[in-house]
Amino acid sequence: MVNFFAYGTLQIPEVMLAVTGRSFAFQTAFLANFARRRLQGKSFPGILPEPGSVVCGLVYWDIDCEALGCLDAFEDDFYHRQTVGIATANGIAWAAEVYVMNEESHGMLLKEEWCLEDFRRTQLRSFLLCHE
């Protein structure tokens, strides 16, 4: 079992359920020294290392191998999964898996921050329909 840090569309529990077929306990968490950016032509974001930046997201607790396999299959090939240190709102540090943009794909990242509420308002419904 591993913890999983979601910073994009997977922050929405309905998306996580659509991808893995399961619901997991979750909590707000923060990933230091990374930045979240919009991806050119995509509705979802990517992250890259950036000293001094912080990404807010959710940590899903106790992800099993089967669900992790579903997440791996869901993610595009311009990401790689790695273990990072995150912190919950109470300041406790945890290890978690996260998908980071491959260095050769950094050119896809725009300068603008990706916004969860914009996605939720404009694209969530169609996104869920495509991933049923």
Mean pLDDT calculated for residue range 117-131: 88
pLDDT of residue 132: 66
pLDDT of residue 128: 85
Whether the predicted model's global pTM rises above the 0.85 cut: yes
**For 114, left (φ over 0), alpha (ψ -120 to 50), or beta?**
beta
Cβ atoms of residues 54 and 20 within 8 Å:
no
Query: pLDDT for 67-107, tens place per residue?
Result: 999 999 999 899 999 999 999 999 999 999 999 999 999 99
Query: What domains lie within the chain, and their CATH numbers?
Result: 2-130 (3.10.490.10)
Cβ atoms of residues 82 and 100 within 8 Å:
yes
Query: pLDDT for 35-73, tens place per residue?
Result: 999 999 999 999 999 999 999 999 999 999 999 999 999
Amino acid at 84: V
Token pair 């978690």: residue: 96
Instruction: Please state, in angstroms and rounded to a whole number, the distance separating the CA atoms of residues 28 and 83.
Output: 18
